[in-house]
Amino acid sequence: MELGQLDHEELVVRRGRRTGLYTIVAVHSTVLGPSLGGCRLWRYENSAAAARDALRLSRAMTFKAAAAGLSLGGGKGVICAEPGPPPSGAARSALLHDFADTVNVLDGSYITAEDVGTNARDMAAIATRTSHVSGLGRSRGGSGNPSPFTARGVEAAMRACCERVFGSRHLRGRTVAVVGAGHVGSELAKRLKRAGAKLVLADIDPSKRELARRLEATWADPTAALLADVDVLAPCALGGSIDEVLIPRLRAQIVCGAANNQLAHDGLAADLAARGILFAPDYIVNAGGLINISVEFDSGGYDAAEARRRVDGIEETMRTILDEAAAAGGTPLAAADRLARRNLHPLGG
The string of pLDDT tens digits covering residues 90-110 is 999 999 999 999 999 999 999
How large a percentage of the chain has pLDDT more than 90? 84
Q: Which fold has domain 3-58+73-134?
A: Rossmann fold (3.40.50)
The single residue of 64, 76, 198, 208 carrying the catalytic annotation is 76
pLDDT tens for 258-303 read: 998 899 999 999 999 999 999 999 999 999 999 999 999 887 788 9
Query: Comparing 3-58+73-134 with 147-286+316-342, is the CATH topology the same?
Result: yes
| Residue 213 DSSP SS3 | helix
Q: Where are the domains of the chain?
A: 3-58+73-134, 147-286+316-342
Mark whether 76 is an active-site residue. Answer: yes
pLDDT at 6: 54
With 0-12 CB in 10 A as exposed, 13-18 as middle and 19+ as buried, what is 329? Answer: exposed
Give the pLDDT mean for 191-207. Answer: 97
Q: Which fold has domain 147-286+316-342?
A: Rossmann fold (3.40.50)
When pLDDT is cut at 50, 70 and 90, the band that residue 1 belongs to is very low
pLDDT at 346: 59
pTM for this model (two decimals)? 0.89
pLDDT tens for 305-335 read: 999 999 999 999 999 999 999 999 899 999 9
pLDDT at 48: 94
What contacts 24+ positions apart, CB below 8 Å, involve 266-272? 266/333, 268/242, 268/243, 268/244, 269/331, 269/332, 269/333, 269/334, 270/331, 271/244, 271/247, 272/242, 272/247, 272/331
